[in-house]
Copies of this chain bind each other. A is one copy, B any other.
């Protein structure tokens, strides 16, 4: 059996790329997107700045990869919540809970996708497709929910978007620290919002 293994060079390349991305995430987690710097990453890896141009054509390309990775990761989380043995209600609850876990685990990653846009940066078209993959499970579950309540599909769409905006409303303010001085349990608030959409209205 001829073991078709990647050549050492390919493996090495892949490993360095991964390390660059790891440190990029670390930078973002620490000081936000604006702190993302090729030279700084290189230094952390014990390399000089120009070395990274063997792996990424530019800072923007690195940023694009990070964004697409984040979208893909969240899409996978969302799709993993699709389980037709579960009721639509359970699926929506699961989606919301997983979204919150995902966001709280790495706030800056969530903000990279849904926070204030990076000025001067335009997301690639693939991002839209991935955003759709995140939304689809929500939409499907809400539609299934509506079947038992003989709803129009326009209503289901509005309801799905509302699900999304309500969760984002709580999450983004929580991540930005706007609840900090406010004698408030963000999780309870979040749970409340989940139920509000499921119950209807």
**A→B interface (CB under 8 Å):** 31-32, 34-35, 111, 114-117, 119-120, 128, 131, 158, 161-162, 164-170, 172-173, 176-178, 181-182, 184, 189, 192-193, 196, 199-201
Q: Tell me, in angstroms, the Cα distance from A168 to B173 when the chains sit together.
A: 8
Query: CA separation between A201 and B162, bound complex, in Å?
Result: 13
Cα distance A129–B92 in the bound complex, in angstroms: 37
* A166–B131 CA distance with the chains assembled, in angstroms: 21
Interface of A is mostly: helix
Q: Check A169/B165 contact, CB under 8 A, given A115-B115, A119-B32.
A: yes
Residue of B nearest to A115 (CB): B116
Q: Which residues of B contact A115 (CB under 8 A)?
A: 115-116, 176
Chain B residues with CB below 8 A from A31, complex form? 119-120
A145 to B111, CA, bound (A): 34
Nearest 5 interchain pairs by C-beta:
A169-B169, A165-B169, A115-B116, A32-B119, A116-B116
